[in-house]
Amino acid sequence: MLSFTISPKSRLSACLLLAVLAAACSRQEEPAADATQPTATTPAAAQTPPAPAVAASVQAMGADQLRESATQALRENRMYAPAGDNAMEYYLALRDKLPDDAVVSSALTDLMPYTVIAAEQAVSREQFDEAQRLAALIEKTDANAPALPRIQKSITSAQQAVAQRSVADAERIRRETEARSQAEQQRTAAQQAAEAETARRLASEAEAARQASERQATEQREAEQRAAAARQAAAAAPAPRPAAPEPRALRPISMPAPRYPPEALRAGTSGEVLVEFTVGTDGAVTDARVLRANPTRVFDREALNAVRRWRFEPLDAPMTTRRTVAFSNGG
């Protein structure tokens, strides 16, 4: 039978290969880093002293336990995470105990590229605590690693960018808050102005209604006063005497029309005069007088002159009667 002897270094390389293949098959990025690290840290947090690259619990483990834990971590694809339980920390602690162990040195050399990539990804995700932890692992593994200055600089630059963005976001939020406050103040002022205008309009309408009511009351009171004065005047005026019945025997012989006053004719004035007169037994008119004239003292004289010229058939006894003499543009 043939037998093969596999050196510790070959076993380590095989473990690393299996770990890489497992990572490729699963296509998962460092799950522990995402689960245990915050999304971003502030510059104030970055100024706090960093935790040791290797956890104290790992440093306290013995060499055999460290070797076994490192092998198990590689099988489970825990090359650099989670903190305190990954192959990098186990091998670094083992190197501190066995500085001349070539297998340990070779394992750290093989793990370095994956840790560098993981650190750069943590920076891009702004997981600065995780990025600094991985940078500490790189620095402890090889303080002169070419990628170390670049990673440290990218962490500082990204932290500054996050800080500036936070300041910009705070300023934007402040401006938006001020804008909303000003808009609210303007809206409140506009609402108050509208309410004040509505109040003024209602007050003006109420005042106009009050004035209209007062005018109506005044007009009604004046109308009542005029009606009362008219009633008093009517009560004080003498009642007209009833006209004497005209006997059937009173027959006119001659009733010449009155002369139209020239002034009234030029002015186009019309009117009438109620005349009371007495007819004698010879039929002549005596004792004529004006009872009512409209307009007054315009047609009175001509109406009396006309009535005095009237002639009637003789009567058995004198008779008093009334007639209305009309004047309308031509007599």
Same domain, 259 and 162: no
Report whether 306 contacts 257 (CB < 8 A): yes
- In this structure, what DSSP letter does residue 239 have? P
Same domain, 151 and 275: no
Domain final position from 99, 133, 166: 166
Q: Domain tally for the chain?
A: 2
Percent of the chain predicted with pLDDT > 90: 63
Q: What is the pLDDT of residue 4?
A: 34
Domain final position from 123, 150, 166: 166
Which position has the higher pLDDT, 225 or 73?
73
Q: Is residue 68 part of a domain?
A: yes
Q: Is residue 309 part of a domain?
A: yes
248 pLDDT band, cuts 50/70/90, is low
Q: Is residue 233 part of a domain?
A: no
Domain final position from 134, 149, 166: 166
Burial-class residue 113 by CB neighbours within 10 Å (0-12, 13-18, 19+): exposed
Q: What residues make up the domain containing 283?
A: 252-327
Same domain, 28 and 139: yes
Same domain, 138 and 24: yes
Average pLDDT of span 11-40? 45
pTM attached to this predicted model: 0.44
Report whether 54 contacts 138 (CB < 8 A): no
Burial-class residue 329 by CB neighbours within 10 Å (0-12, 13-18, 19+): exposed
The helix (run of H) or strand (run of E) holding residue 319 is strand 319-327
Q: Is residue 212 part of a domain?
A: no
User: Residue 259's domain is classified under what CATH number?
Assistant: 3.30.2420.10
CA distance 191 to 240: 74
Q: Average model confidence (pLDDT) for the chain?
A: 84
33 pLDDT band, cuts 50/70/90, is very low
Same domain, 162 and 256: no
Same domain, 31 and 154: yes
Q: What is the pLDDT of residue 238?
A: 60
CA distance 69 to 88: 11
Same domain, 149 and 22: yes
Q: Is residue 187 part of a domain?
A: no
| Closest of 77, 73, 71 to residue 22, by C-alpha | 77
Q: Is residue 20 part of a domain?
A: yes
What tokens appear for 295 in the block? 């307009």
Three-class SS state of 142 = coil
Rounded-to-5 percentages of helix, strand, coil across the chain = 60, 10, 30
Q: Is residue 195 part of a domain?
A: no
The CA dihedral of 257, 263, 266, 267, to the nearest 10 degrees, is -110
Average pLDDT of span 11-21? 49
Q: What is the pLDDT of residue 48?
A: 60
| Closest of 327, 268, 266 to residue 300, by C-alpha | 327
